[in-house]
């Protein structure tokens, strides 16, 4: 999907043909096969760790049931591990260096005339955003609704005190204040309302983006203490030796016992906070009713969060705690290929556009992985690697990552490199990234292969 005609408008890529293919290729019976572009629901959480799906009882039960139609990817990653850049990439299918949204302060740099909302809206979808948009929205301007959105309920995030209560919202361009309601529940009500109010004859695109489980990790009152007895193990990289760590990592101090205990408590509260998100997902799915049979649903996080792994707290790091994300899918055609497909945030837009039968007249960096959803007529392409990036700041220097199913190469702007055998391709599996294999001769050929891949980073186009 490339090229930028002077008009800047989209082209509708044969929706009728896609529908016909869906009818012909879907595994469902003719009476239940999708007969028009599918509804698309994206649930985007905030800072959710990749290993927390078990903390969401309803969603986890769907994943445990082979007949439910739900599946999760074991190889999903944040294109950039910070909220605003990740969300801009999700909306556009472009790397941060191309959106211009490099840090959380850059949201107003996004060209909002070329996003999933505009492309799908112009193709006949009813579009809705409920929840967090981009950091610092409305960017010091008067409240506004970006192009392409039919329903707009954007939560402002002033500071940690407004993440879960006492927050402001821009509702269809008007500012309102919400006092005592728990944010995730209040937003879920509006998301369900959007589903119910969308005509059955019109396809919908909903981006439901609660702030949870973002710090300060405050669960709904009903869920406080739900995981009080949960025993969580400390990551071995919190105190253990890190062989071959980069200079910025070696400079990080050993955490105190009090800090380590706080990280464990925050991880527990993260899981309790996700329970309300889980309930919101259940409610949205229930609201779909029989529309579920033609709905493509994606559940993911903008990035992960490091609770002391590699002695680092927060986001922005190149390690799994920061860049690996949960990614759950349900599609009308099946999800047999989801578990093994490599995918990053930047790939969601082209995948959604493909299953919707829409081609944007804009350059897109991401890869369409709709074949893993069983989408009829989808090109059978699976990425051999994903590319991740961070532009750098005063705490974490600029880096690029190429990640395959089992190996990861990190390269910093100064040339320092880290190589991890996370999946055990050539030696013992190192999922915690404790042993930098960059100087191990056994990894020489693999290293050259990864360096070659990194040299083809699509963000450099």
Within a domain: residue 173? Answer: yes
Q: Between the CA of residue 36 and those of 21, 23, 151, 293, 296, what are the distances in Å?
A: 10, 9, 21, 12, 12
Q: How far apart (Å, rounded) are the C-alpha atoms in residues 59 and 348?
A: 20
Same domain membership, residue 434 and residue 303: no
Q: Which pLDDT score is estimated for 461?
A: 65
Q: Cα angle vertex 220, ends 50, 208, to 5°?
A: 55
Within a domain: residue 107? Answer: yes
Same domain membership, residue 372 and residue 416: no
Nearest to 136 by CA among 161, 113, 159, 102: 159
Same domain membership, residue 363 and residue 222: yes
Same domain membership, residue 423 and residue 325: no
Within a domain: residue 1? Answer: no
Within a domain: residue 4? Answer: no
Domain boundary among 321, 350, 381: 381
Same domain membership, residue 75 and residue 132: yes
What share of the chain has pLDDT > 70, as a percent?
92
Number of structural domains found in the chain = 2
Within a domain: residue 3? Answer: no
Same domain membership, residue 319 and residue 420: no
Same domain membership, residue 409 and residue 334: no
Same domain membership, residue 128 and residue 64: yes
Structural domain that includes position 450? 390-460
CATH number of the domain residue 111 falls in: 3.40.720.10
Q: Dump pLDDT digits (tens) for 42-84.
A: 999 999 999 999 999 999 999 999 899 999 999 999 999 999 9
- Cα-trace Rg, the chain: 21
Q: Dump pLDDT digits (tens) for 115-174.
A: 999 999 999 999 999 999 999 999 999 999 999 999 999 999 888 899 999 999 999 999
Nearest to 437 by CA among 400, 406, 391: 406
Q: Dump pLDDT digits (tens) for 42-51.
A: 999 999 999 9
Domain boundary among 381, 404, 433: 381
Within a domain: residue 2? Answer: no
Same domain membership, residue 17 and residue 155: yes
Q: Dump pLDDT digits (tens) for 179-226.
A: 999 999 999 999 999 999 999 999 999 999 999 999 999 999 999 999
Same domain membership, residue 404 and residue 363: no
Domain boundary among 331, 351, 381: 381
Same domain membership, residue 204 and residue 121: yes
Within a domain: residue 143? Answer: yes
Within a domain: residue 163? Answer: yes
Same domain membership, residue 53 and residue 202: yes
Q: Which pLDDT score is estimated for 458?
A: 80
CA atoms within 13 A on the CB side of 135: 16
Q: How far apart (Å, rounded) are the C-alpha atoms in residues 303 and 156?
A: 19
């Amino acid at each position: 999907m490339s090229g930028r005609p002077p008009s800047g408008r989209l082209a509708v890529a044969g929706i009728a043909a896609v529908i016909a293919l869906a009818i012909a290729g879907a595994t469902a019976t003719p009476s239940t096969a999708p007969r028009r572009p599918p509804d698309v629901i994206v649930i985007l959480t905030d800072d959710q760790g990749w290993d927390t799906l078990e903390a969401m009882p309803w969603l986890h039960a769907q994943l445990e049931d082979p007949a439910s139609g739900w599946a999760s990817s074991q190889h999903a990653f944040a294109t950039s591990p910070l909220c605003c850049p990740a969300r801009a990439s999700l909306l556009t299918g472009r790397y941060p260096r191309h959106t211009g949204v490099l840090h959380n302060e850059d949201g107003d740099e996004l060209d909002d005339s070329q996003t999933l909302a505009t492309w799908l809206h112009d193709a006949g979808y009813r579009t809705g955003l409920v929840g967090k948009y981009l950091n610092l929205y409305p960017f010091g301007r008067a409240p506004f609704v970006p192009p392409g959105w039919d329903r707009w309920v954007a939560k402002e995030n002033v500071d940690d005190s407004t993440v879960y209560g006492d927050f402001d919202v821009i509702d269809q361009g008007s500012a309102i204040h919400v006092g005592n309601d728990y944010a995730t529940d209040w937003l879920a009500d509006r998301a369900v309302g959007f589903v119910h109010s969308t005509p059955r004859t019109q396809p919908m695109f909903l981006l439901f983006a609660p702030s949870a489980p973002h710090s300060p990790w405050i669960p709904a009152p009903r869920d406080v203490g739900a995981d009080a007895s949960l025993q969580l193990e400390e990551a071995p990289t919190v105190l253990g030796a890190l062989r071959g760590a980069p200079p910025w990592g070696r400079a990080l101090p050993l955490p105190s016992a009090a800090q380590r205990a706080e990280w464990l408590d925050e991880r527990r509260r993260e899981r309790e906070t996700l329970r309300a998100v889980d309930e919101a997902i259940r409610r949205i799915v229930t609201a779909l009713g029989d529309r579920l049979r033609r709905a493509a649903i994606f559940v993911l996080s903008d990035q992960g969060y490091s609770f002391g792994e590699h002695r680092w707290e927060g986001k922005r790091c190149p390690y799994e705690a920061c860049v690996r994300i949960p990614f759950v899918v349900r599609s009308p055609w099946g999800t047999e290929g989801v578990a093994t497909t490599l995918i990053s945030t930047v790939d969601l837009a082209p995948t959604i556009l493909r299953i919707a039968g829409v081609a944007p007249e804009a350059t897109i960096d991401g890869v369409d992985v709709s074949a893993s959803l069983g989408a009829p007529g989808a090109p059978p392409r699976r990425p051999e690697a994903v590319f991740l990036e961070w532009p750098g700041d005063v705490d974490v220097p600029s880096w690029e990552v190429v990640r395959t199913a089992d190996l990861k190469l990190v390269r910093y702007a100064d040339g320092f490199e880290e190589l991890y055998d996370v999946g055990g391709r050539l030696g013992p599996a190192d999922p915690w990234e404790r042993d930098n294999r960059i100087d191990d001769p056994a990894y020489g050929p693999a290293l050259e292969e990864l360096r070659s891949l990194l040299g083809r980073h699509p963000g450099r186009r």
